Amino acid sequence: MSWKAALTPYLNHPEAYSKETILFYDTNVVIINDAFPKSTFHLLVIPRNKVLTKKHPAVALTESEKNRLEPYIDIATKYVYDKFMKKYKVKGKQLNKESFIEQFIKVGVHSIPSMNNLHIHVITNDFYSDRLKNKKHYNSFNSNFFINWEELPFSEIPDPKVVEKEYIKNKDLVCCYCENNFGNKFAQLKSHLKEEFNDCFIKK
């Protein structure tokens, strides 16, 4: 089986996996921990509809589809919020659940999905992870390469060549906390992200 098809077994037989891998499933979706998380918490919400799963998310996630999936997005964001708040405290702030989700959790899809099956990312906006290893990993979530849930659907599928060039190759690395520009210096950005994380959060 190719790497691009790696999500398919989760859809077909979610009951075969541990609770650490499959966080939730029913007849409509499977919610999993991303195997290569790019932030402290990184989940995938994967619709099980056999037609929808083959479509590009930018155009497939119509308002009606989003409405059907919204309860599952809520399950994923609540899970992330609960797990994060059990592990960390936000320094100098008293944030309710809604404020935390608005400031620190991103929900959306990639303009050029890396996997065959349609999936939605629910990810903390810290990018503090050993699995964040290069410029593409970072900019795929911190540029218009990433399509926020509220922006969906698009009228047409984004042009992969244009998207890759504009938002990955030619896009500078800009800190998601302070907006400092690191150009192409990924190692410096990653070190800075660690500092920013430790300035914002403390382990309980």
- Please report the pLDDT score of residue 95 as a whole number: 83
pTM of the model: 0.96
Kindly indicate the confidence band of residue 69, based on its pLDDT and cuts at 50, 70 and 90: very high
- Please report the pLDDT score of residue 82 as a whole number: 97
Q: Chain-wide mean pLDDT for the chain?
A: 96
Number of compact structural domains in the chain? 1
Beta-strand pair 42-47/105-110: unpaired
119 is known as an active-site residue? yes
- Please report the pLDDT score of residue 2 as a whole number: 81
The pair of structure tokens assigned to 190 is 């990653």
Average pLDDT over residues 57-73: 98
DSSP alpha helices (H): ranges in the chain?
8-12, 57-60, 63-87, 97-104, 135-139, 160-164, 186-200
- Please report the pLDDT score of residue 92 as a whole number: 85
Residue type, 200: C
Phi and psi, residue 33, nearest 5°: -75, 130
Kindly indicate the confidence band of residue 136, based on its pLDDT and cuts at 50, 70 and 90: very high
* Percent of the chain at pLDDT exceeding 90: 96
Residue 173 has pLDDT above 80, yes or no: yes
The pair of structure tokens assigned to 177 is 């906390």
Active-site residue, from 42, 119, 121, 137: 119
- Please report the pLDDT score of residue 1 as a whole number: 62
Residue 145 lies in domain: 3-203
**Domain of residue 53, CATH code:** 3.30.428.10
